[in-house]
């Protein structure tokens, strides 16, 4: 298909995203193609490892292609998005649990759906251009694609901070937060790819790895742990009382995001922290996304940021402090027979 190239090269199964003009955004069909390839290669003795990469310099994958979700949702068809998310989440679980090594090369923007595709791989490589984030709350979604599994394991309250503010991480912060493993400058990637294809041996990863740039967010770890430890209302109050550029920027990001999505995202991160599996994360995330278009802020977030681009979303709640526990419980309740099947 034109958006993705799947092949076997030497000892490697190759998955390459080929729509750089769209920042390699994932379509539903692309998710199904990835899952089908992983299924074929699972028992293929000729395939020693899987390599996931993307064309272009701007992005590995900047997220999911949500235009169709918006169009169908506006006309009352919520099943399209639910089926898309279910298949995408199953693909995320396959990558996270794959029995063979999966290597992902994450240049430029790796966000949302790109995190689900690349950051569950066993060997995640970043470079000088890498910018990784979970920005879903800006469009009325919770961090998903198994992202809460990663956020829950980040140091201290870093996961709450990253999930609630959609802050972007450079390569150093991505490694420290557990979204990446190795820093290899982009100029060495062609040689790395050739070595992986030829040998199927992971030794070239460590051989080419270099020291990552310093992680700027590490300087704010104590501040983050203190400010993002409480309830959503507590977090807002702490940021308002704190002062300083960092707290002001974090508060401004919270105020731009969907209050309902932020509150539910925080609840998911904390619940997953106690459960510890990617499957638990995906199951909890799906409960929200199943309801997102019909009962949440998703369609309004897409309208305001992507369709009309007025950046003036009319969220269901005016402020994060206005979201009640009953609102969160309603969006995160179990789905019964409709629970995600992994």
Cβ neighbours of 180 (radius 10 Å): 27
pLDDT at 181 over 90: yes
pLDDT attached to residue 2: 84
Task: Give the percent of the chain with pLDDT over 70.
Answer: 100
Q: What is the pLDDT of residues 102-124, one digit of tens each?
A: 999 999 999 999 999 999 999 99
* pTM of full prediction above 0.75: yes
pLDDT value at position 276? 83
Q: Please report which confidence band the pLDDT of residue 144 belongs to, taking 50, 70 and 90 as the band edges.
A: very high
In the chain, % of residues over pLDDT 90: 97
What average pLDDT does this structure show over 222-230? 97
pLDDT at 1 over 80: no
Full set of structural domains in the chain with CATH: 4-136+165-208 (3.90.226.10), 217-330 (no CATH)
Model confidence band, residue 296 (pLDDT cutoffs 50, 70, 90): very high
pLDDT for res 65: 87
Q: What is the pLDDT of residue 60?
A: 98
Within the chain, how many helices (H) and strands (E) appear? 16, 9
Contact by Cβ (8 Å): 283, 335: no
The confidence score (pLDDT) of residue 77 equals 95
Distance of CA 220 to CAs 85, 147, 161, Å? 34, 22, 11
- pLDDT at position 243 is 86
Task: Determine the pLDDT at residue 186.
Answer: 98
Which whole-number Å values give the CA distances from 100 to 11, 32, 126, 235, in the listed order?
12, 19, 20, 41
Q: What is the pLDDT of residue 257?
A: 98
Residue among 134, 52, 146 nearest 96 (CA): 146
Share the mean pLDDT of the chain: 97
Name the pLDDT band for 66 (thresholds 50, 70, 90): confident
Predicted confidence band of residue 28 (pLDDT cuts 50, 70, 90): very high
Residue 292 confidence class, pLDDT cut points 50, 70, 90: very high
Please name every residue paired with 210 in a beta bridge, in sequence order, or none if there are none. 183
Determine the 3-state secondary structure of 52 from DSSP.
Answer: strand
What does the pLDDT average to over 10-16?
98
Can you tell me the mean pLDDT for 10-19? 98
Residue 48 DSSP SS3: coil
Does 263 score more than 80 pLDDT? yes
pLDDT band for position 12 (cuts 50, 70, 90): very high
Residues 6+ apart with CB under 8 A from 134: 111, 112, 115, 143, 147, 151, 162, 163, 166
What positions carry a catalytic annotation?
Answer: 64, 113, 136, 144
């Amino acid at each position: 298909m034109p958006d993705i190239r799947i092949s076997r090269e030497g000892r490697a199964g190759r998955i390459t995203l080929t729509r750089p003009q769209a920042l390699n955004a994932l379509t539903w069909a692309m998710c199904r193609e990835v899952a089908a390839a992983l299924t074929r290669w699972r028992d293929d003795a000729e395939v020693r490892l899987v390599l996931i990469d993307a064309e272009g310099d701007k992005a590995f994958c900047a997220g999911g292609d949500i235009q169709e979700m918006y169009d169908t949702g506006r006309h009352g068809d919520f099943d399209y998005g639910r089926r898309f998310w279910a298949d995408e989440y199953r693909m995320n679980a396959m990558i996270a649990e794959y029995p063979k090594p999966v290597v992902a090369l994450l240049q430029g923007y790796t966000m949302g759906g790109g995190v689900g595709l690349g950051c569950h791989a066993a060997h995640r490589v970043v470079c000088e251009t890498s910018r990784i984030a979970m920005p879903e709350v800006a469009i009325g979604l919770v961090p998903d694609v198994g992202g809460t599994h990663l956020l829950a394991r980040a140091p201290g309250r870093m996961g709450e901070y990253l999930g609630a503010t959609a802050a972007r991480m450079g390569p150093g912060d991505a490694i420290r937060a557990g979204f990446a493993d190795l820093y290899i400058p982009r100029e060495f990637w062609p040689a790395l790819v050739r070595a992986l294809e030829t040998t199927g041996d992971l030794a070239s990863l460590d051989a080419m790895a270099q020291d990552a740039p310093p992680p700027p967010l590490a300087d704010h770890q104590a501040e983050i742990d203190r400010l993002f430890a409480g309830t959503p209302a507590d977090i807002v109050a702490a940021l308002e009382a704190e002062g300083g550029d960092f707290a002001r920027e974090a508060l401004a990001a919270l105020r731009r995001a969907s209050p309902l999505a932020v509150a539910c995202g925080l609840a998911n991160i904390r619940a997953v922290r106690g459960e510890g599996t990617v499957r638990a994360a995906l199951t909890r995330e799906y409960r929200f996304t199943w309801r997102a278009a019909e009962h949440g802020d998703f369609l309004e977030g897409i309208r305001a940021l992507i369709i009309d681009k007025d950046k003036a979303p009319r969220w269901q709640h005016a402020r994060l402090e206005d979201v009640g526990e009953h609102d969160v419980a309603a969006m995160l309740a179990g789905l019964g027979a409709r629970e995600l099947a992994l």
